[in-house]
Amino acid sequence: MLNPFSEDLSSATTETVDIPVWPGSVSARMKVDVAVSPHGQVLVLHDQPFPSYLEWIEFDAESGEMTFVTAGGKIQGLGLTIFAPMNRHVAKAHEVCTICIRNNEIRDMGLVPMTVRNKH
């Protein structure tokens, strides 16, 4: 057993951990934008496929940050801030329509559930 107070840590074994956060942001790897209606309909338009199947999207209404979560548990931030007053409309949504557009053609569409963390 490793003693954390021991000065000799050379005998400690190194364990590789699969960190669930993808480096960078969605906006750093593809063109992406968000469109929002006053009724809480949210579209995420992008030009590249996501690297893995999206299980859900999280939205933090206080910070305006959107995070994508895959079926494998990996997470990646959108990289764009949803500013007020748009974020109050996004906070009404329960799902997001993702639309992949390349060469002016819709290549893929999907409905992804969204959870919202509201201000307290």
Q: What is the mean pLDDT of residues 98-120?
A: 91
- pLDDT for residue 83: 87
pTM value is 0.78
Establish if 3 belongs to a structural domain.
no
Tokens of 104: 């002016």
The total number of structural domains that make up the chain: 1
Q: What is the pLDDT of residues 54-107, one digit of tens each?
A: 999 999 999 999 999 998 889 999 999 998 889 889 999 999 999 999 999 999
Does residue 2 surpass a pLDDT of 50?
A: no
Name the phi and psi angles at 44, rounded to 5: -110, 115
Establish if 20 belongs to a structural domain.
no
Q: What is the pLDDT of residues 16-52, one digit of tens each?
A: 556 577 677 899 899 999 999 988 899 999 999 988 8
Does residue 1 surpass a pLDDT of 60?
A: no
Ordered DSSP codes for 42-101: EEEEESS--SS-EEEEEEETTTTEEEEEETTS-EEEEEEE--TTHHHHHTT-SEEEEEEE
Residue of 73, 56, 70 lying closest to 115 (CA atoms): 56
| Cβ–Cβ under 8 Å, residues 100 and 115 | no
Establish if 41 belongs to a structural domain.
yes
Structural domain span for residue 58 = 31-117
| Cβ–Cβ under 8 Å, residues 31 and 46 | yes
Question: Sorting pLDDT into bands at 50, 70 and 90, what band is 14?
Answer: low
Establish if 35 belongs to a structural domain.
yes
